[in-house]
Structure 1
Amino acid sequence: MSANQKRVQQLGATKVAVTSLQPLGCLPRTTVDSSFQRCNTTQNQAVAYHNLLLQQTVAKLNNDSQTSTFFIIDLYTSFTTVLNQNPDYQGKLRFESPLKPCCIGMNGYFCGGVDQKGVKMFTVCSDLKSAFFLGFVTSN
């Protein structure tokens, strides 16, 4: 990553944004194993370590740089802030089940998929605003 950022800098970029990883252990492909009830802490610990190394690399790049400034867009904190159920301005929880996607494909079909007979192979929640994650594919 550091080498690529240096290349971008050599091309003349003066401001460079780099995204951290979101909590991968909270994505539907992982939380499906707990019926969308729990994040995988092992995966999130690995992501936290990655993001720590990213912060250290960006700090070193900024320290070594005379012309460029590198910024981190913190997706991890953005995701966890939403997933931790902070109430909206009316005190209502934003999502009933924050880890559960609105649309779930069945038997390997994507959300919106139909079989050869045109039968819908997915389910959709009743209110799109009730879900943080939009779609997911199940394997069974």
Structure 2
Amino acid sequence: MDQLEINIDRIRGLGVKRIAVTLIEPMGCIPLQAASSSYSNCTQALNSGSKFHNQMLNQSLQNLNAKDNSTVFITLDLYDAFFSALNKFTTHAPAGSLGLKPCCEGKEMGKYYCGSVDESGAKLYTICENPNLSFFWDTLHPSQNGWHSIFSSLRSSLHKLTT
């Protein structure tokens, strides 16, 4: 965190007037971690780690802003936006939606991943029937639908970028 604070302060030193720093998402909810519960639950210990990281980052940004009584550094709360979007998605999703399960995954978990092919070019992954019903594309990344949901949750806080 100390090095991150130094790096962010260096950016301010270049004359940047406003810097938006994203807080990290609930890492325990990414499919790579949720796989241990058959994609039924987020891993709370990892989410606690994400929350702790975000608290430390917020404190660092407050310290940097206090140095010259400014609001150069603002946060975009990806954690809350992600969690809110995921909760809305899983609560209001149509039948057949995947929740924490990724749309694209390797045929053997841990051995192959989305996009893996063998020497002959044969696919070693599968893609869900309806990607529009997925929140996650692969074991790490939200799908287009997932990012749209996250953006919708973030939208109300984006005004901070222009004020």
> Which residue of 2 is the match for residue 101 of structure 1?
102
What is the CA RMSD across the aligned residues, in angstroms?
A: 2.3
Higher strand share: 1
CA separation of 1:96 and 1:10: change in aligned 2, threshold 3 A: same
Give 1:63's aligned residue: 66
Question: Which of these residues, 10, 16, 20, is aligned with residue 17 of structure 1?
Answer: 20
Query: Sequence identity, in percent?
Result: 34
Residue pair 1:18, 1:70 contacting (<8 A) in 2 also: yes
8 A Cα contact 2:106 2:113, kept in partner: yes
Matched with 1:52 is 55
Structure 1 or 2: more helix by fraction: 2
Counterpart Cα distance in 2 of 1:76 and 1:84:
12
Residues 2 and 117 of structure 1: CA distance in aligned 2, closer, same or farther (over 3 Å): closer
| One-letter code aligned to 1:134 | W
- CA pair 92-26 structure 1, distance change in 2 beyond 3 A: closer
In 2, Cα distance between the equivalents of 1:64 and 1:14?
Answer: 15
TM-score normalised by L of structure 1: 0.84
TM-aligned CA deviation for residue 23 of structure 1: 0.5
Larger radius of gyration between Structure 1 and Structure 2: 1
TM-score normalised per structure 2: 0.73
2: distance between equivalents of 1:118 and 1:52? 45
What's the CA shift for 1:117? 4.1
Give the corresponding residue for 1:77. 80
Amino acid at match of 2:17: T
Consecutive unaligned residues of structure 1, counting only runs of 5 or more, are none
SS of the residue corresponding to residue 61 of structure 1 reads helix
Moved more, 93-102 or 45-54: 93-102
